[in-house]
Amino acid sequence: MSSWLYLDGVNNRIRVLRAERSLSQAELARKTGVSRQTISSIEAGRSEPSLSVAFEISEALGVSIEDIFSRTSTKPPWQPTPGSAPPR
């Protein structure tokens, strides 16, 4: 089983990193200032954390955000339509 969870082009390793540190969801929630249900939802890929929560999680786990989250989509961020110009 992969240690990465997929959500709309974003993978996260929170569950694996949390388990490696012997932290429960409740302990990680307490360290990050969110509910245990929020941690569970993020780990399961049902929701994405805000940027501030992502930073709190990375700090609590002692890793960089890049070590937790990675982009998997190769789709360009801008989808052209006929007659449109790319954003500036």
Q: Which residues contact 5 (CB under 8 A, 6 or more apart)?
A: 11, 12, 13, 15, 43, 44, 45
Token pair 């989808």 is at which residue? 79
pLDDT tens, 4-63?
A: 444 445 578 899 999 999 999 999 999 999 999 999 999 988 888 999 999 999 999 999
Rounded to the nearest 5 degrees, what angle is found at the Cα of 76, between the Cα atoms of 14 and 84? 145
- The whole-number pLDDT of residue 85 equals 61
Q: From residue 52, give the alpha-carbon distance in Å to each of 16, 29, 45, 56, 66.
A: 21, 14, 18, 6, 14
Q: For the whole model, what pTM was predicted?
A: 0.69
Other CB atoms within 10 Å distance of the CB of residue 82: 4
Q: Does the structure show a pLDDT above 50 at 65? A: yes
Domains defined for the chain, CATH in brackets: 5-71 (1.10.260.40)
